[in-house]
Chain A
Amino acid sequence: MSRSLTRKIVLPLLGLLAVLAVWTAISHAVARDFPSPYRTWMESRRYVLEPFFKDGEMNQGIGRLAVYSLVRVGIGFLLTLAIGTPLGFLLGLSRAFHQAFDPIIQFLRPISPLAWLPLGLVIFQKSEPAAVFTIALCAMWPTVINTAVGVRSISPDHLNVGRVLRLSRFKMLTKIIVPASLPYVFTGYRLSLGLAWLVIVASEMLTGTPGVGGFLWQEYNSLVYSHILLSVITIGAIGFALDRLMGLVEARVRAA
């Protein structure tokens, strides 16, 4: 086996072992209620091995719960793209638009999802649209800001090509501005998707809707702590997978 391969596989495995060791130590020495890796696995086995079973609204395999969360994130993320992308282009293209809305965006950006959710519930009266609303509002900003930066950093030489040819506004947009800023746009998409996944867990916990986050909160209330760990690991794994997926898409766009 080559040296680099050893490093790529063996070192991460060692890291994982170290974390499991610390986890075990904590569960034995510090907090007895905190389940060890072994107990977590024994109590979660069914949820993982039969990921799509359904015994009741809140007792379902982890795969089924993950699908609920993913669908919700998917809808929220699509909404984010649909609103955030044109907003970003407007912000990058128009000085007036930038001056009018940039302060508001900078003001809205740091507001936590926990603050938006109750407002969503007030507006929509139902938890499902409230969750989607919260995701869209929180996850939108990286897309908006990266798109605007992408538009503003287009090389003047490339814009000059369009000016010399007197391209129409539409052709200028489709042939030069959009393709030139695409790598930035997709970086924004990747960051937005990460945020959307962060927000979904919080919003499910608050509204108690079925999904990985809702399951986590319910199992905390039912004192089944091993399932909290199962949920946490699932959330991490899916977040990691989503990021990798968008990373691949982003790399393809950059290479194109």
Chain B
Amino acid sequence: MAYLEVRGLTKSYTTRRAVAHVLGGVDLTLDEGEFVGIVGYSGSGKTALISLLAGLLRPDAGTIVLDGAPVVEPGPERGIVFQQYSLLPWMSVYENVALAVDAVNPGMPGGERRRITEELIALVNLSGAAWKRPRELSGGMRQRVAVARGLATRPKLLLMDEPFSALDALTRATLQDELLRIWSERRSTVILVTNDVDEAILLADRIYPLTPGPGAVLGPPIEVTLPRPRGRRHMSLSPAYQKARQGLVEFLRACRRGQA
């Protein structure tokens, strides 16, 4: 059995007026240490899928098994970086990260926990801002904190829901480069959901397109054969990049046309 096995995941939202079929049977398999991207249009159900994987939502049908254990509720072994700023505004950067470190290391001596927390903050280059509150930080800095908090539990699976989509292009590029560096240092298993094809190609080993809803499913995966370590310089000139990009864009366009 693979590290992560997702089978036939469906989800609809029932509101008073209508039933919205969002996901119509998502299958997904991941090996340990893989970085997988999921790309889809806005509103196709990306957040719904991430919430299901996190256990924050219950699926209507289907199963999720991570490292042999079925996912039925949220837990710290599945770290999550939310789409919107979800830092606790009444806590400093340090306290936001420490909350996660303390939650998973209850028996550890305080000094050791402090060291881990400081290390994580240094990892995302925020040591100078450790005592600032989220509202004193730029959008990019806030998402760095969210990444540090997501990693703080040493999760088996890190779920990222469009972590950089609210940032300006320059900041986004910087954070993508940082994520690339962090991942090469830590080799965590990551699912990154995004609507930015280039972001997915830069970061992921394999990319699934998510068809536009209703009843969204994952299309055939596209392997990214770009060698690591990767950099954004000259990336767009490489045939591997062009092949991946063309495959994704064509598939998503075709879905759109089929729908219209």
* A172→B70 CA distance, assembly (Å): 25
Residue of B nearest to A156 (CB): B56
Q: Mark A134-164, 1 if CB is under 8 A from B, else 0.
A: 0000000000000000000000011011011
Q: In the complex, identify which listed stretch (B84-92, B124-132, B241-249) lies at the interface while the others stay far away.
A: B84-92
**Is B99 on the interface with A (CB-CB < 8 A)?**
yes
Identify which of B73, B82, B84, B103 contacts A165 (C-beta below 8 A). Answer: B103
Identify which of A157, A166, A175, A179 contacts B75 (C-beta below 8 A). Answer: A166
Asked whether A256 lies within 8 Å of B90 as measured between CB atoms, the reply is yes
Asked whether A175 lies within 8 Å of B99 as measured between CB atoms, the reply is yes
Q: Nearest chain A CB to B66's CB is how many angstroms away?
A: 14
Q: Mark A170-195, 1 if CB is under 8 A from B, else 0.
A: 01000110011010000000000000
**Is A251 on the interface with B (CB-CB < 8 A)?**
no
Range, interface on chain A: 10 to 19
Range, interface on chain B: 20 to 34
Residues of B78-108 whose CB lies within 8 A of A:
78-80, 82, 84, 86, 88, 90-91, 99-100, 103-104
Identify which of A157, A165, A166, A179 contacts B90 (C-beta below 8 A). Answer: A179
Known: A157-B86, A179-B88, A179-B90. A167 touches B56 (CB 8 A): no
Asked whether A176 lies within 8 Å of B88 as measured between CB atoms, the reply is yes
B-side contacts of A163, CB under 8 Å:
56, 73-74
Identify which of A160, A166, A167, A182 contacts B86 (C-beta below 8 A). Answer: A160
Asked whether B79 lies within 8 Å of A164 as measured between CB atoms, the reply is yes
Known: A157-B82, A160-B56, A160-B74. A167 touches B103 (CB 8 A): yes
A contact patch SS: helix
B-side contacts of A175, CB under 8 Å:
88, 91, 99
Identify which of A157, A164, A256 contacts B54 (C-beta below 8 A). Answer: A164
Asked whether B104 lies within 8 Å of A180 as measured between CB atoms, the reply is no
Residue of B nearest to A178 (CB): B90
A157, A165, A182 pick with most chain B CB within 10 angstroms: A165
B56, B76, B79, B86 pick with most chain A CB within 10 angstroms: B86
* A233→B106 CA distance, assembly (Å): 58
Identify which of B82, B91, B103 contacts A166 (C-beta below 8 A). Answer: B103
A-side contacts of B74, CB under 8 Å:
160, 163-164, 166
* Residues of A bordering B, CB below 8 Å: 157-158, 160-161, 163-167, 171, 175-176, 179-180, 182, 256
* Residues of B bordering A, CB below 8 Å: 54, 56, 73-76, 78-80, 82, 84, 86, 88, 90-91, 99-100, 103-104, 153
A sample of 22 inter-chain contacts (CB < 8 A) reads A157-B82, A160-B56, A160-B74, A160-B82, A161-B86, A161-B99, A163-B73, A164-B54, A164-B74, A164-B78, A164-B80, A165-B76, A165-B99, A166-B75, A166-B76, A166-B103, A175-B88, A179-B88, A179-B91, A180-B90, A182-B90, A256-B90
